[in-house]
Chains A and B, each alone.
Chain A
Amino acid sequence: MQNNVNKYLRSEKLPHIWCPGCGNGIVLGAITRAFGLLDCDQDNTVVVSGIGCSSRATGYLDFCTLHTTHGRALAFATGIKMARPELKVFVLMGDGDSTGIGGNHFIHAARRNIDLTAIIFNNSIYGMTGGQSSPLSPLNSRATTAPQGTFERPFDLAELARGAGATYVARGTTYHANMLTQLIRNGADHKGFSVVEAVTACPISYGRRNKMGNGYDMLLWQKEHSVPVEKARKLTPLEMEGKFAIGELYKADAPEFTDIYERFIEEKQKKNEEERHRGVN
């Protein structure tokens, strides 16, 4: 599989810009391995990203890639997918990018159930700008803009996605890199809006400030705080406190947006043609 995977990377662009111990490389690895499992066609796939450390990933992937503005990646991707529904479109975002500035685009992409695969690098912080709190920062966690700890309740990204209408919702971690690969693969195979949350570590802007140790310690933290979803379903809220479920959290079949629109265009054109023949126009 190794060779199969390297072709998805722009190896001449490596080494990457991420800090030592950063989890983004593991997520990128999972994405490329998922491409391998999908036998992804590089000439019919577009990868879009927003702005943030994680969103730099598009620079390393050998596809048509689009590095957009902060928070707007899903809106750019919607334009691409609508223009060319036959293309596979992946959207890589940070937690701040997708749920802060881009929160509105996120819920509306989910509402439309447009066939995009959103992969969210959740490091609980605004990494690129140096560690400000994000809508996914855990309550009471420290950030440069929350020196005493955050007062705001965070989103549960998966619940948000599901509530807004996403039809595939999964969560993985960089500790469980193989599982993450599978989740991304399944998300991409799913027709509709798929959300894969990748819990990752930012030792520099988050870990240090929250005394979580280095990148390795943070990986162990992910191992200790995650519970496979099958098991999580059997636990009480009290038993799940401070923990999070990983795996495929939600999956549903629902009409997909570009499909519906393509059918609408066809019908409208057909009807128009018939009317022209009958001289109605």
Chain B
Amino acid sequence: MNDVAQLARLMQGNEAIVEGALAAGLRFFAGYPITPSTEISELLAARLPLYGGRFIQMEDEMASMAAIIGASLAGLKSLTATSGPGFSLKQENIGFASMAEVPCVVVNVQRHGPSTGIPTAPAQGDVMQARWGTHGDHPAIALCPASVQESYSLTVEAFNFAEKYRTPVILLTDEVIGHMRERVILPQPDKLNVIDRKKPPAGLEKYYPYRPGEDGVPAMADFCENYRFHVTGLVHDESGFPTTDADVAEKLIRRLNNKIMDNLDDIVLSESWLTKDADIIIVAYGAVSRSAKKAIKEARVAGFKVGLFRPITIWPFPEKEIAVLSRQAHTMIVPEMNLGQLKLEVERAASGRSRVIGVNKVNGELITPGEILDAIIKQ
């Protein structure tokens, strides 16, 4: 048996997230049960201790988010997982992690809403919440897997981005991907690219926890490692202490945004499929992109020149890529399980060069290939 065969497994999307997180070096998880994310908690409760890692079921989602920030400051790669309503509760502390530049990963297995909605039904209604859920101007990285395999690889990627850019990263998956089972090939651990946070050298005369390196990201010491320092959610200067100085505030908030926006080439991931000659582009992400692929195959047989653009990184939004495609496509179709959240972004990026049409469904059911095909035929 070769290595690859040994590591091919049948698993659920949520299970693949657990495997990906462990492979990326996860050592701390805090969470609160909510469908359809609960398997992640349950599996980690059993698995983390085997790695010397720690699991805790906190009293709510706010506490879970707080605990992973604490654990990350203490030096452990940290994760929490939730769904819609729980994601809303985490927002305040996601903002804290963003402001205090604490790496951590938040999984949101999207479910129907608003509010308790249809708890076990899929939706993609948290696209804007992943971008603007917490208050203030903050950067956001959100990744959207479309398969179990990607649930694995993007979890690793999420940790890598979190560590590299000292920021919370959101894995924005959905109930369909979270619960479906597929064949997954787990890479050999030594073949995996795992990034760890940049640490300051020991023995500095003074450590500035918020003095950025050339990449805009400050080196991060663990609590009680080599240095004593202060961490706050208030606007702070490079030493980490609070200030209300307007210039410092302006510079800090801009730097937080720029450390992400200046690195789009590194962060923005996408898939283009059959787009070369396409004059109709379907823009779809997560579970819906699978329906889109099926629809595209059938439409191609019927003679339509149609292709798929799939944002994998949905935040920052792949604007440049959409702009390029909008020069060749007369129409872009955006099927989503919401009333048109990403469609707004597509419209913005296409700037009137393509017509942008939504295919939207909010009844807790996956959009079918037939529904997308209908939209293609109508063009």
The secondary-structure label for the interface of chain B is mixed
Report chain A residues within 8 Å CB of B93.
Answer: 69, 72
Q: Do the beta carbons of A43 and B54 come within 8 Å of each other?
A: no
Is A59 interfacial (CB-CB < 8 Å)? Answer: yes
| B10 contacts A by Cβ under 8 Å | no
A6, CB-defined interface residue at 8 Å:
no
Contact with A along B220-241 (1 / 0, CB 8 A): 0001100111111110000001
Is residue A84 within 8 Å, beta carbon to beta carbon, of the partner chain? yes
Please provide the 6 A-B residue pairs with the shortest distance between their CB atoms, ordered closest to farther.
A79-B70, A79-B67, A75-B66, A75-B63, A83-B74, A83-B71
**Distance of A268 Cα from B45 Cα, bound (Å):** 12
B residues contacting the other copy or chain, number (CB 8 A): 42
Residues of B within 8 A of A18 (CB): none
Choose one: A62, A104, A268; the contact of B63 (CB below 8 Å).
A104
The answer to whether B56 has its CB under 8 Å from any CB of chain A is yes
Cβ 8 A contact of A63, one of B53, B54, B92, B228: B228
Interchain CB contact under 8 A, B231 and A83: no
Specify which chain A residues have a CB less than 8 angstroms from the CB of B96 in the assembled complex.
68-69
Is the C-beta of A37 less than 8 angstroms from some C-beta in chain B?
no
Residues of A207-228 at the interface with B, using a CB-CB cut-off of 8 Å, are none
Closest residue of B by beta carbon distance from A261: B54
Does A16 touch B at the CB level, under 8 Å?
no
- Any B CB within 8 A of the CB of A66: yes
Shortest CB-to-CB span from B221 to chain A, Å, is 9
Cβ contact of B70, chosen from A42, A45, A77, A104, cutoff 8 A: A77
Asked whether A84 lies within 8 Å of B223 as measured between CB atoms, the reply is: yes
A190 surroundings in chain B (CB, below 8 A): none
A residues within 8 A CB of B62?
72, 75
A144 sits at the interface (CB 8 A): no
Given A78-B56, A82-B54, answer yes or no on A69-B230 (Cβ-Cβ < 8 Å).
no
Q: Which residues 34-58 of A sit at the B interface, judged by CB distance below 8 A?
A: 42-46, 48, 58
**Chain A residue at minimal CB-CB distance from B233:** A69
Q: Which residue of B lies closest to A17 (CB)?
A: B242
* B228 and A76 contact, CB distance less than 8 A: no
B60-A104 in contact (CB<8A): yes
User: Residue A105 at the B interface, CB < 8 A?
Assistant: yes
Q: Does A141 contact B (CB under 8 A)?
A: no
Set of chain B residues within 8 Å of A80, measured between Cβ atoms:
70-71, 73-74, 223
Contacts of A79 in B (CB 8 A): 28, 30, 66-74, 78
